[in-house]
């Protein structure tokens, strides 16, 4: 997927993410680097995608960047902490995304019970847990054929996702590109 982010949108995202950074919801990395890392997620989203759920959304990285760069997508941002979801709701409003971005205060482990039968095309996560834990809690949120996109350490080839625990959930690594591991859910 080609990514076009205008200077104006980069500035607006920097302002929004800067607020999250000032109150401790993002590390001290430069906001340009945060946005550029999030663009790796955007590039990894399949063209056929209609909806994305970002779990552990925290200060909005990568969820807000995805929402800005992909105006055709419905985006759900999930975090279990009210302080974070309150900020995310304000930032979604400030960026003019409220018509297609939903913010949920929820524990990801409880989403299938809270929203039975609801599934997404893509699940994104920056740092949610071990591969087995991440796959267990995200695979149930995906449609068959859906993708999980998760941050990978530098120089990773995705081998940490090739485990019996992950594969038993129907999750299989496709590629690691742009600092993002892309797994597909097969029935």
Residue 1 confidence (pLDDT): 61
pLDDT at 159: 95
Q: Are 126 and 58 in contact (CB under 8 A)?
A: yes
Q: Say how many C-beta atoms besides its own lie within 10 A of residue 58's C-beta.
A: 19
Q: How far apart are CA 35 and CA 142, in angstroms?
A: 25
Give the mean model confidence (pLDDT) for residues 149-166.
94
Digit-coded pLDDT (tens) for 75-125: 999 999 999 999 999 999 999 999 999 999 999 999 999 999 999 999 999
pLDDT, the chain, mean: 95
* DSSP state at residue 24: T
**What letter would DSSP give residue 157?**
-
Across 87-115, b (16+ Cβ under 10 Å) vs e yields: bbbebbeebebeeebebbbbebeebeeee
Q: Which residues, including other chains, have CB under 8 Å from residue 150's CB and lie 6 or more apart?
A: 124, 125, 126, 128, 134, 180, 181, 183
Its pTM stands at 0.95
Quick: pLDDT tens for 15-62.
999 999 999 888 889 999 999 999 999 999 999 999 999 999 999 999
For 51, the 3-state DSSP assignment is strand
Mean pLDDT of 128-156: 94
The span from the CA of 37 to the CA of 29, in Å, is 11
């Amino acid at each position: 997927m080609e990514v076009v982010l205008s200077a104006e949108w980069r500035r607006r995202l920097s302002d929004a993410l800067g607020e999250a950074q000032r109150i401790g919801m993002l590390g001290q990395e430069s906001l340009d680097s945060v946005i550029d890392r999030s663009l790796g997620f955007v590039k990894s989203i399949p063209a056929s995608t209609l909806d994305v759920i970002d779990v552990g959304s925290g200060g909005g990285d990568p969820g807000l960047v995805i929402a800005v760069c992909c105006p055709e997508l419905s985006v759900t941002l999930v975090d279990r902490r009210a302080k974070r979801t309150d900020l995310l709701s304000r930032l979604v409003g400030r960026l003019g995304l409220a018509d297609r971005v939903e913010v949920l205060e929820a524990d990801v482990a409880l989403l299938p019970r809270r929203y039975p039968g609801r599934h997404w095309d893509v699940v994104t996560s920056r740092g949610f847990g071990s591969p087995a834990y991440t796959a267990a809690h995200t695979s149930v949120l995906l449609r068959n054929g859906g993708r999980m996109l998760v941050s990978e350490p530098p120089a990773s080839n995705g081998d940490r996702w090739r485990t019996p625990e992950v594969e038993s959930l129907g999750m299989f690594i496709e590629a690691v590109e742009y600092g993002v591991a892309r797994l597909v859910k097969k029935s």
